[in-house]
Amino acid sequence: MSNARVAQEVQLVGMDISEMETLAAMHDELPFRGKQLFHWVYKQQVDSINAMNTLPSSFRDLLADEYVLHPLTLIKKTGSDLEPTQKFLLQLPYGEKIESVIMEEGKRVTLCVSTQVGCAVDCKFCATAKMGFIKNLTAGEIVDQYLLILNSINKRITNVVFMGMGEPFLNYQQVINAADLLNHKEGINLSAKRITISTVGIIPKIMRYTKEGHKYKLAISLNGSSQDQRLKIMPISKTHSMNGLIQSAWDYYYISKKLITLEYVLLAGVNDDIVDADRLMDLIGNLPCKLNLIPYNEIDGPFHRSSEEKIERFVNRLERANFTVTIRWSKGTDISGGCGQLAVLDQESCN
């Protein structure tokens, strides 16, 4: 199917159950046809409208004429030689490209999805930042990463993390809609505990997320042990300060009673000293949380991965902390599929 057609027509992936019921009613079908359509798209995950054989053939013909199933096209799949990790290049209806990554660890198969084409946040260590911001993805374009990749790997995806290209909370409503579609009992039915939304720390959106009481796991990228240090690598700290972030994490805990995850990318000579570990313990204090340390995945730029010795010393120092500390070694760094390495610089948008 040509991209031009996908761009012009309404896409089924991305619609929720009530939108599909409305669609059915619009075409003089009973509302339960909308529910059947929802099942075919998200539960049966069929690859074509023709395969939806409980729908009347006249309705299927109309759907095939006026709608398209998938907003995205899978263009390329690259496997890592080092780990069971695969990177996927996908194209949007108007030609822009995004990347998603599948990482396997035992029975756990995690899909890392993108939420924007490029990113406006400009974290100094991140490859996506070099693209600048191009556009937000729709909920359908986010969920379609799951559906197309699932189809191509023939393995159950056990976890989804919103941690690919883009800042999820700068595309808040579409991200929440996508998480709701992944979690919907009558569709994909992925447990809320297996869906993680990772933000760089957009404080008003963390407050909104807390107030709305979403069940998905929340992670905040801290990446610095003081306001000044964080400001140098994450200019967004100017408007979303370190203290404000920690306060919002406490509010999240008080209201949701859920553990938050704090992410900390270890950058050699920047934030990986014993002093940083001490400052982190002071900053985080008794906040019920998990701290994920992520050894940096190098891209073209001034930052480097901390030595193993330095990482070990940092982790040992944190032994006295009141929170759990884990190290997350990124997968697929040989295919630039590690955390912070995703970028598609040759965007050929026809938008």
**Binding site residues, ligand SF4, CB under 6 A:** 119, 121-123, 126, 128-129, 165-167, 200, 340
Catalytic, 112? Answer no
Q: What backbone torsions phi and psi does residue 224 show, to the nearest 5 degrees?
A: -155, 160
CA dihedral 15, 88, 127, 279 (to 10 degrees): 80
Q: What backbone torsions phi and psi does residue 218 show, to the nearest 5 degrees?
A: -120, 135
CB of 127 to ligand SF4, least distance (A): 7
Compute the 3-state secondary structure of the chain and give helix, strand, coil in percent, each to the nearest 5.
40, 20, 40
Catalytic, 339? Answer yes
Rank residues 91 and 171 by Cβ distance to ligand SF4 and give the closer one: 171
Q: Which of 119, 123, 126, 339 is catalytic?
A: 339
Q: Which of 21, 29, 83, 99 is catalytic?
A: 99
CB of 347 to ligand SF4, least distance (A): 15
Largest separation between any pair of C-alpha atoms in the chain: 69
CB of 114 to ligand SF4, least distance (A): 9
Rank residues 119 and 147 by Cβ distance to ligand SF4 and give the closer one: 119
Among the listed residues 277, 348, 283, 282, the one whose alpha carbon sits nearest the alpha carbon of residue 319: 277
Rank residues 119 and 284 by Cβ distance to ligand SF4 and give the closer one: 119
Residue 265 in contact with residue 339, Cβ under 8 Å? yes
Instruction: In whole angstroms, give the CA distance from residue 18 to residue 323.
Output: 42
80: DSSP letter: -
CB of 186 to ligand SF4, least distance (A): 32
Rank residues 6 and 299 by Cβ distance to ligand SF4 and give the closer one: 299
Q: List, in sequence order, every residue forming a beta bridge with 78; answer none if it has no partner.
A: 87
CB of 310 to ligand SF4, least distance (A): 22
Rank residues 125 and 323 by Cβ distance to ligand SF4 and give the closer one: 125
- Residue type for position 182: L
Residue 161 in contact with residue 196, Cβ under 8 Å? yes
Element (H, E) at 334: none
Structure tokens at 322: 């009141």
Active site residues: 99, 339
